[in-house]
Structure 1
Amino acid sequence: MWVFPVGHFGEVLDRVGGKLFFVLEDQRPDGPLELESSSLVAWISGQSQLQAADDFVAKLGDFVLSLSDRDAYRKIASALAGAAQRLLMKAHDIAVLNAYHPNSKSLTRARAFATFRSILLKGDEELFAFVSIRSILNLALSGSQLKNAASIEADVRVAAGLELPVSLNFGEALHSLNPINVVIGSNGQGKTRLLLGLAQAAVSRMLSMRDDVGAELLQPDSLKVVAFTYEPSHWSRLRTHGIEVVSMGIDSASWRRVTSLIHQIASSDDGQDNLRQIELILAQFIPTDELFLPLIAREVDGVERIQFREFIERMSANLLAGVDLTKSPIMEAPTKGTYSLSSGEKSLLSFCLSTFLHTRGGALVLIDEPENHLHPAFISLLVKTLVSTLVATESRAVVVTHSPFVVREVDRSSVLILKRNMEDLPELYRPSLQTLGGDISMIVDHVFQDGSIKKAYERRIDAVIAERMAEGAQIVTNDLVVDLGNDGARYLHAQAALAGN
């Protein structure tokens, strides 16, 4: 962890690695503080005692605290005990300033320095780390059971007498946490059975987990496993063994339940902090300042609705009691009045809230074909939203899909292709091409061997080629190429080359 003391005129006085170098109200934490050698430490050591936070700010100006993840905050809370809450709340965390107060003086000063600018580029984990401070201070410091799991392995039963080795990789991709693995395969390959097998292995405590340096982690006795599916009946047996099963999809009744989902999250331990995290996630795909919750007017001073952000900031028992759980949320903007979200946005909002609610405290999440009924653009949003939610709850997820749009959002090290071999037995292997940001057509060809299947447009091109060859005419002409897309044009040129034309 780093502490950046910032002077009144914005100059960075020094940087100290290791534990914090000051205490609050002259109360020292238990045990000595180990200080790294630096000019600032030398300056402090010349004082009669370590500086209290108030004295430090009075002499040197505001300080900015930037920590990489929630574990760093947990270490501070553990080291400083009761002093930690005041210390952390007094610090100006750069990630949060950047998100909520981009014009603040502290942030303006910080932007002048390269070190601070690099911190401003950090992602979800830093932001959720700060938003979770109160939860970290109020609850046990251990965090999620899966927060350190970089890989999970299991021998998964996919049929009677048949087990399939499954290796899941949750290492970093593009310098950020990758909490999702994807299993892709065509229909009938056994993707749902694989998920059911993973759930059974978790219930039987047969998962093998390791951290990012390969050290083995013990599977906890009470590992939470949550399954999201359009076919909850497939999970009825495992539900009796403690697997939480959530039905996916959205209809008018499901949309009304969104109010109840928000209310449940708000009513949970540290509900206000949880809703702040939810707002950060929802803001990726809807304008959260236009989201209102319905109220029972007689319970809340005659007001019939409240803005979601205001609801978060004014959180109280009376306000929670005033939420009308029988009504849907309301979208309202000054320029267009009351309006409705699209079905895709509603589905995404419901999915995000359900995922967060069921994974608080960390969970292994198993999701069966979440892309059903979604437009490709919303598939990308769904994956982005899922990743942010998993980071917020320190969870891990396995998604089975037949959509290349899902696979395109994940690094190939976290993608598994499921197919049947010549003996009609299931096999898993990793793709050889990079899937993250990959070409959809190439992913389809690679995963589904789509290139071996004669497509309708290829048959039409073949007919034109045969006709032109019979006439002795040139095969590739501008008028033909302009009628084709990229894949069709490539096929035309390839076939013309084979024909020697």
Structure 2
Amino acid sequence: MDSAPRSNIHAIIGRNGVGKTTILNGMISAITDRQGTSTKFIDIDGWQESEISNDYFSSLVSVSFSAFDPFTPPEEQPDPAKGTCYFYIGLKDGENTELHRTIRDLQYDCIKALINCFQNSSKTKRWLDAIEKLGSDENFFLMRLEELNAIYLQVRQDLKENEQSDSASFADRFRNAVAPTLSRMSSGHAIVLLTITRLVSTVEEKTLVLLDEPESHLHPPLLSAFVRALSDLLHDRNGLSIIATHSPVVLQEIPKSCVWKIYRKGENVVTSRPNIETFAENVGVLTSEVFNLEVERSGFHDILANSVLTGKTYEEIVSEYDNQIGFEGRAILKVLIAKRDRG
């Protein structure tokens, strides 16, 4: 039975440097290199905890566009007969991990994934559904990306004699046909299109999708739309995703039962569930819940706290800022002054 809200997306959230990416990379190794790593997935549903079976996940897809992650993704493994399939979406070059893939390389990846989707009616529908969901972002909607399918059908109609729709020559002609559309896209929109297209192309039943900080390239409305589109795709394919993030926008889209807060105490990594419900909660409330002390010691909180230390009254401080303090800032200011005056 479907749950509401859905529980097919889970999040690991914490500040930078706490180890979120390291955890995701350990998960990749636990599936693709079971003999060469001490990291394991444990099944806790049985009478006795045990490592998951080799076929627990049919495939694994990892998504990371970080230019600074030292992790080397494994070589892609698309053959189910050889075990769990593995697909990588990101900047690393599989042939030379010291290099990053160029815009042209990523664009060609997207072209191949689009062709793979459009060759299959079910994948075409899932892709169109995802593009429609992402269209809740106005700029994404205005690009009319659903027309890429019509362009594909037109190019396929013009197939030359003995030319196949999965040939390099067809891919080049399709690429030239969609180039005007792709060239108008911002880097964030291009990454979203590549990611969702490759996910539609690769995600099958029992697929695990690992995403590392998708917010790095997406503004909040598009990030929310992407999480919803991903959830719909996973629901259709009976898949699961784990997102490493420091964005409360991701938490807004999933229940607290699917969220782990992660932070450090000395050398130890500590985890806990949020104390409040996260689905549909206010971003400011979620930020405070996850980062609390870090928030209080940074940004405008720190500026207001320093003003309070000067001994001025509430009215004097507001006047000092020429009345340019928002409602939340004024509420915080009153609390800080009350604490100061109580000694």
> Do they superpose with TM above 0.5?
yes
Q: Distance in 2 between matches of 1:298 and 1:435?
A: 46
Q: Please state if 1:183 is matched with 2:12.
A: yes
- Equivalent residues of 1:235, 1:245 under 8 A apart: no
Q: Please state if 1:277 is matched with 2:106.
A: no
1:498 and 1:299, CA in 2 relative to 1: closer, same or farther beyond 3 A? Answer: closer
- Equivalent residues of 2:12, 2:262 under 8 A apart: yes
Q: Distance in 2 between matches of 1:280 and 1:458?
A: 42
RMSD: 4.0
Q: Which has the larger radius of gyration?
A: 1
Unaligned runs of 5+ in 1: 1-67, 69-170, 304-316, 333-337
Q: Please state if 1:415 is matched with 2:259.
A: yes
Superposition deviation, residue 188 in structure 1:
2.0
- Pick one of 240, 246, 264 that aligns with 1:396: 240
- Pick one of 225, 235, 258 that aligns with 2:110: 258
Superposition deviation, residue 245 in structure 1:
4.1
Q: Distance in 1 between matches of 2:295 and 2:165?
A: 61
- Equivalent residues of 1:293, 1:330 under 8 A apart: no
Superposition deviation, residue 178 in structure 1:
2.1
- Amino acid aligned to 1:439: N
Tell me the SS of whatever aligns to 2:71: helix
Judging by fraction of residues, say which structure has more helix: 2
- Equivalent residues of 2:9, 2:242 under 8 A apart: yes
Q: Distance in 1 between matches of 2:155 and 2:301?
A: 67
Superposition deviation, residue 196 in structure 1:
2.6
Q: Please state if 1:234 is matched with 2:71.
A: yes
| Residue equivalent to 1:142 | none
- Amino acid aligned to 1:291: L
- Cα deviation per residue 1:39-78 (whole Å; 9 max; x = unaligned)? xxxxxxxxxxxxxxxxxxxxxxxxxxxxx8xxxxxxxxxx
- Pick one of 430, 433, 454 that aligns with 2:273: 430
- Cα deviation per residue 1:94-145 (whole Å; 9 max; x = unaligned)? xxxxxxxxxxxxxxxxxxxxxxxxxxxxxxxxxxxxxxxxxxxxxxxxxxxx
- Amino acid aligned to 2:280: G
- Equivalent residues of 1:468, 1:475 under 8 A apart: no
Superposition deviation, residue 445 in structure 1:
2.4
Matched ranges for 1:272-421 at <5 A? 272-284=121-133, 285=135, 286=141, 287-291=144-148, 294=151, 300-301=157-158, 324-327=173-176, 329=178, 340-421=184-265
TM-score, normalised to structure 1's length? 0.51
- Amino acid aligned to 1:248: G
- Equivalent residues of 1:281, 1:385 under 8 A apart: yes
- Cα deviation per residue 1:81-104 (whole Å; 9 max; x = unaligned)? xxxxxxxxxxxxxxxxxxxxxxxx
Q: Distance in 2 between matches of 1:431 and 1:263?
A: 42
Q: Please state if 1:244 is matched with 2:95.
A: no
- Equivalent residues of 1:225, 1:363 under 8 A apart: yes
1:233 and 1:467, CA in 2 relative to 1: closer, same or farther beyond 3 A? Answer: closer
Superposition deviation, residue 294 in structure 1:
4.9
Superposition deviation, residue 258 in structure 1:
2.4
| Residue equivalent to 2:24 | 195
- Amino acid aligned to 1:257: D
Aligned length: 302
1:357 and 1:173, CA in 2 relative to 1: closer, same or farther beyond 3 A? Answer: same
- Equivalent residues of 1:368, 1:400 under 8 A apart: yes
1:359 and 1:458, CA in 2 relative to 1: closer, same or farther beyond 3 A? Answer: closer
- Equivalent residues of 1:258, 1:328 under 8 A apart: no
Q: Distance in 1 between matches of 2:314 and 2:13?
A: 44
1:493 and 1:385, CA in 2 relative to 1: closer, same or farther beyond 3 A? Answer: same
Superposition deviation, residue 411 in structure 1:
0.8
- Cα deviation per residue 1:227-275 (whole Å; 9 max; x = unaligned)? 22235861445868966241326935423432321112334xxx11221
Q: Please state if 1:446 is matched with 2:289.
A: yes
Superposition deviation, residue 220 in structure 1:
5.2
Superposition deviation, residue 468 in structure 1:
6.5
Tell me the SS of whatever aligns to 1:283: helix
- Cα deviation per residue 1:462-482 (whole Å; 9 max; x = unaligned)? 45445573xx78547689684
- Amino acid aligned to 2:27: L
Unaligned runs of 5+ in 2: 35-39, 78-82, 92-101, 136-140
Q: Distance in 2 between matches of 1:330 and 1:292?
A: 14
1:257 and 1:325, CA in 2 relative to 1: closer, same or farther beyond 3 A? Answer: farther
- Amino acid aligned to 1:226: V
Superposition deviation, residue 490 in structure 1:
1.5
Larger relative contact order, structure 1 or 2 (CA cutoff 8 Å, min sep 6)? 2
Superposition deviation, residue 399 in structure 1:
0.9
- Equivalent residues of 1:476, 1:493 under 8 A apart: no
Tell me the SS of whatever aligns to 2:216: coil
Tell me the SS of whatever aligns to 1:371: helix
| Residue equivalent to 2:95 | none
446-455 or 408-417: bigger deviation: 446-455
Q: Distance in 2 between matches of 1:406 and 1:299?
A: 39
1:407 and 1:238, CA in 2 relative to 1: closer, same or farther beyond 3 A? Answer: farther
Q: Distance in 2 between matches of 1:379 and 1:473?
A: 38
Superposition deviation, residue 289 in structure 1:
4.6
